[in-house]
Structures are given as structure tokens and as C-alpha cells.
């Protein structure tokens, strides 16, 4: 009798192992979005033997918010641009053994401060101002669980660190500059929207201005899919991608998930990985999912901040700035209040959201600006010619001299793109500590099978807002599927 029981148990184990192997060979996986997280997930799944994969991309290109456009003999990045940090950055760790990064090299010593009446500040004053600003940000990150906004904390800390010898008007200029600088870091409309809880979402250690030189951030996809460094080991990710496939509904009401597209096509899957932007989720989650998402995930979507960082690239026949990066790397703009007030309600009010113009590594004739704040809609809606005119007006006003006209311009429009509706996430004053975890948590069926998984930079508890966070999230969800079938990743 005992031997029969053992035989039954052994057959049961063998049967279970067989079913597991069979399921692993056949599960259908749909990935919504061919950005950094979607490509990373697909590559990791293929690497682990999962081949029945389709990636549905709504646009006519891959990359998502990594958008490297041809320029001259190389590429410019309208989206993710810098490999931000070294230690703790999976992109850096993946690529560094095979690629020599460049460096934008902006420091408080080579960032020149100009006021809106065309005066350049003494460099020692500028350097002290920039050092103080960064120290306040670092102190703010250490607050951890504070509910104070970044703006509130700055005001309190600045009063403590501010010398009585500093003129009140200059103090206001510094405060305004720092708000623009922080908005450009977090893609926020206001630094009163950004929470001190961002301390849990720190950047990687080391240089945060590492560049891809003239190759563009798109280079990361060649390493993710193993086209580099050895093309013979390339994974067949490209053949899994279908472009111009806008997903309109994901029905996860049964064990088999049905993905419906705008062109009428449908895909059935055992697992669906959703990598759309948080901005897209904020607008479309009520109609994108059937049934609706669990309330804790909806709350996390609503609580988490999502904003827009704009970019401008201007090319000139010859640089009018110093080409010695040790001497100059950026122009920082400090507005006098009367000059700023004069632009209220005007067609060029958006220029008050520009923090600075900076050098572009590997492109000696280019300068670039970041734009973030309350006027992003105006920035994206004006014509290319108006943008050039306004940019040159801004540069000439602050540098105090007539400048040559640019011969080329490139710009971003992330808010206007209906598939993104912004650039990246940030920790808002409404965020709770579990929100990022809830955003990234898989939805399982009654058999504890992860049928709906979520990736993208906003789903990462650490490194949200970064491309390397997006890559990490893609690997994370791929790992959840692999582990479900009992294999190490």
C-alpha cells in the first residue's frame, strides 16, 4: 500500500513538472509599449526561453520616451539624454564595459550666472549660490518622511543659510532660479508640488551628466537586445514588435487576457505587461482596463506626480560661447522681478520657465535648454519660428549683446503627444510610501498567476523618473513571469 502511495506521489510530481515545462514553452505574452521597459522585459523573457511574445507599440517608432533623432552625423535626444549616475544604475553597469561615456561637465565653477538686465555676476558669487542650492537639495532628501514640499523646505532653509548681507532682491532672484532648476529636475509645474518623500527615490551615485556623445540614448537598446557587443548573440526582439498598434482595452476578466487595438485586432495572452506612461494611465485607466483596476492601484496612479520637461537645441554656424568646457558649460538666468512681470500674459511668457542654456557634449556648435514649469502648454503650442525668436530674445537679454541667428533648431513636445502626456514621474505631496510599490504590483488570478503586470519608470520604488528605472522595471516583471514557471532569471 505504501509503495502505491509513493508511486502516486512520484507521478504527481512528474506530472506537475511536465505541466510546468509545457506551460513555460507555450505561454502567450503581450507587452504594451516598446519603450525602455518593454524592450528590457522582452529581451529578458527571450533570454529565459519564452518565445511567444508580441510587443504592441502605438507609435511608428520604438523607444518610448527614449527618442534619439538623426542630427548631422549622429543623434540628439529629445527624451532621456544623460546616463544619470554610475553606482546603482543598471544601464551604466550594462553598457560601461563596452562604451566610453562622455560628460556634459556642468559644475558650479563653470556655470555662469547672468541677470535679466544683461549683467554677468562675479563667478565666486555664482559658484557660492549654486553650491548652496545643491546643499539644500541634499539636506532636503535626508528628511525622508516629511510632508513638506520642496518649496516650503527651501524657504525655511534659505532663511537659515542666507546671510543678512545678501540683498533682498538678489535673494528673490536666487529663489526663483532654484525653483526653475528644481522644476527641470522633477518635471514639475511648481516645487510646491514635489514632496520630501522623494528621499526614497534617490538617483544613482556618481556622475549624473554622462552622455552618449553623438550616438544617442537609443544605443541602450542595442545592449539590452544583445546586438552589442557581439551581434552573433542578438536576441530576436525586433521581430516581436508591431508598430502602429494602439491598445484601447485590456480585458482581464478571465484566465485569458484579451487585448484590443484601435484597428480592430485582438490578442489573447496568459500574461500582459503594461508599460504605458503614468500620464497615459492617469487619463485612460478607466477605459483601458476591464474590469477597472483595484482601488489601491488607482489611488497610486492619482497620487503620483507626472510632469513635462521640454528641450530646445539650437545650432549655430560658429559658437558664440567659450568652447573650453573647464571655463564655460552653461548660462544660468536670474530674473529681475520687473522684467518677469513685464512678460505676464504675453506670447513669450514661457521663457520665464527656462533655467539655463548649456553645452551639448560632442556637438561644439550646439547649445540646449531645459524648460519646465507652468507654461509648458504655451511652449509646445508656439511655432518653431516663434520658439527660435523667443529663445534668441532671451539669450540676448541676459547676455547683453546681439547674437548670430541659429541655423537649426530641434524641440520636444512630450505633453502634446497623446501617448505620453508628459515626460516622467515625481513624488508629489499627495504620495503615500506604498504608492510606487502599488503601481508596480502585478494583478494575479485565483491561481496566483500574474496575468496583468506593470512596468515603466513610475512603477519603481527606487530610481523612478529615470531611464535606468524603466529598464529595471522591465527586468522585474520579466522575472515575475519566469519565476511563476519555476525557473531562475
DSSP helix/strand/coil, 110: coil
Please state, in angstroms and as integers, the Cα–Cα distance from residue 159 to each residue in 153, 162, 164, following that order. Answer: 10, 5, 9
Please state, in angstroms and as integers, the Cα–Cα distance from residue 410 to each residue in 70, 242, 366, 387, following that order. Answer: 11, 28, 10, 10
Listed in sequence order, the residues at least 6 apart from 480 whose beta carbon sits closer than 8 Å to its beta carbon are 442, 450, 453
DSSP helix/strand/coil, 256: coil
Radius of gyration in angstroms for the set of CA atoms belonging to the chain, rounded to a whole number? 25
CA–CA dist 341, 345 (Å, integer)? 9
Listed in sequence order, the residues at least 6 apart from 26 whose beta carbon sits closer than 8 Å to its beta carbon are 52
Is there a binding annotation on residue 462?
A: no
Listed in sequence order, the residues at least 6 apart from 90 whose beta carbon sits closer than 8 Å to its beta carbon are 468, 471, 472, 475
Q: Dig out the grid coordinates for 309 from the structure.
A: 520637461
Of 155, 99, 88, 163, nearest to 125 (Cα)?
163
312 Cα distance to chain centroid: 17
Is there a binding annotation on residue 58?
A: yes
In the block, cell 523612478 appears at 464
**Parallel/antiparallel/unpaired status of strands 305-307 and 363-371:** unpaired
Helices 123-141, 150-161: inter-axial angle, 10-degree rounding: 130
Q: How many Cβ atoms from other residues are within 10 Å of residue 291's Cβ? A: 8
Give yes or no for a contact between 75 and 215, defined as CB atoms under 8 angstroms apart: yes
Q: Which residues pair with residue 278 across a beta bridge?
A: none
Is there a binding annotation on residue 276?
A: no
CA–CA dist 300, 425 (Å, integer)? 12
Q: Dig out the grid coordinates for 320 from the structure.
A: 558664440
Separate counts of helices (H) and strands (E) for the chain = 14, 22
DSSP string for 33-101:
--BHHHHHHHHHHHHTT---EEEE-SSSSSBTT--EEEETTEEEESS---B--SBT-HHHHHHGGG---
Of 67, 79, 37, 83, nearest to 308 (Cα)?
79
Is there a binding annotation on residue 247?
A: yes
Is there a binding annotation on residue 57?
A: yes
Of 204, 420, 186, nearest to 305 (Cα)?
186
CA–CA dist 296, 292 (Å, integer)? 11
Q: Dig out the grid coordinates for 401 from the structure.
A: 549683446
User: Which residues belong to the annotated binding site for FAD?
Assistant: 37, 57-58, 247
User: Which residues belong to the annotated binding site?
Assistant: 37, 57-58, 247, 370
User: Which residues belong to the annotated binding site for substrate?
Assistant: 370
Amino acid at each position: 500500500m505504501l509503495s502505491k502511495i509513493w508511486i502516486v506521489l512520484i507521478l504527481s510530481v512528474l506530472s506537475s513538472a511536465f505541466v510546468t515545462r509545457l506551460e513555460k514553452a507555450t505561454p502567450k505574452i503581450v507587452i504594451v509599449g516598446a519603450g525602455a521597459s518593454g524592450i528590457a522585459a522582452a529581451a529578458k523573457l527571450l533570454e529565459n526561453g519564452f518565445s511567444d511574445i508580441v510587443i504592441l507599440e502605438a507609435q511608428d517608432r520604438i523607444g518610448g520616451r527614449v527618442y534619439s533623432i538623426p542630427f548631422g552625423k549622429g543623434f540628439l535626444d529629445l527624451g532621456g539624454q544623460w546616463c544619470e549616475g554610475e553606482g546603482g544604475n543598471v544601464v551604466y553597469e550594462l553598457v560601461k564595459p563596452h562604451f566610453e561615456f562622455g560628460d556634459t561637465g556642468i559644475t558650479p565653477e563653470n556655470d555662469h550666472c547672468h541677470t535679466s538686465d544683461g549683467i554677468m555676476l562675479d563667478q565666486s558669487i555664482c559658484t557660492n549660490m549654486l553650491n548652496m542650492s545643491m546643499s539644500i537639495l541634499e539636506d532636503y532628501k535626508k528628511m525622508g518622511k516629511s510632508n513638506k514640499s520642496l518649496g516650503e523646505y527651501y524657504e525655511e532653509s534659505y532663511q537659515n543659510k542666507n546671510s543678512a548681507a545678501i540683498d533682498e532682491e538678489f535673494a528673490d532672484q536666487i529663489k526663483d532660479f532654484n525653483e526653475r532648476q528644481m522644476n527641470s529636475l522633477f518635471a514639475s509645474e511648481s516645487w510646491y508640488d514635489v514632496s520630501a518623500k522623494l528621499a526614497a527615490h534617490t538617483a544613482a551615485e556618481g556622475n549624473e551628466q554622462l552622455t552618449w556623445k553623438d550616438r544617442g540614448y537609443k544605443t541602450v537598446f542595442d545592449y539590452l537586445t544583445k546586438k552589442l557587443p557581439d551581434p552573433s548573440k542578438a536576441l530576436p526582439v525586433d521581430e516581436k514588435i508591431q508598430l502602429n498598434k494602439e491598445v484601447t482595452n485590456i480585458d482581464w476578466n478571465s484566465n485569458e487576457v484579451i487585448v484590443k487595438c484601435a484597428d480592430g485586432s485582438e490578442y489573447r495572452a496568459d500574461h500582459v505587461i503594461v508599460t504605458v506612461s503614468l500620464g497615459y494611465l492617469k487619463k485612460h485607466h478607466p477605459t483601458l482596463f476591464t474590469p477597472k483596476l483595484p482601488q489601491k492601484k488607482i489611488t497610486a496612479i492619482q497620487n503620483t506626480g507626472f510632469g513635462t520637461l521640454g528641450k530646445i537645441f539650437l545650432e549655430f554656424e560658429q559658437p558664440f560661447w567659450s568652447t573650453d568646457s573647464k571655463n564655460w558649460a552653461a548660462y544660468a538666468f536670474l530674473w529681475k522681478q520687473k522684467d518677469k512681470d513685464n512678460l505676464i500674459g504675453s506670447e513669450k511668457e514661457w521663457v520665464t520657465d527656462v533655467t539655463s542654456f548649456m553645452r551639448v557634449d560632442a556637438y561644439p556648435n550646439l547649445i540646449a535648454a531645459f524648460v519646465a514649469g507652468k507654461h509648458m502648454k504655451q511652449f509646445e503650442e508656439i511655432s518653431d519660428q516663434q520658439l527660435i525668436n523667443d529663445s534668441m530674445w532671451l539669450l540676448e537679454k541676459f547676455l547683453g549683446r546681439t547674437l548670430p541667428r541659429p541655423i537649426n533648431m530641434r524641440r520636444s513636445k512630450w505633453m502634446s503627444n497623446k501617448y505620453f502626456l508628459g515626460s516622467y514621474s515625481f513624488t508629489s505631496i499627495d504620495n503615500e510610501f506604498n504608492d510606487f510599490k502599488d503601481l508596480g504590483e502585478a494583478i494575479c488570478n485565483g491561481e496566483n498567476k500574474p496575468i496583468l503586470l506593470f512596468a515603466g519608470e513610475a512603477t519603481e520604488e527606487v530610481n523612478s523618473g529615470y531611464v535606468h528605472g524603466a529598464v529595471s522595471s522591465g527586468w522585474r516583471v520579466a522575472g515575475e513571469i519566469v519565476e511563476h514557471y519555476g525557473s531562475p532569471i
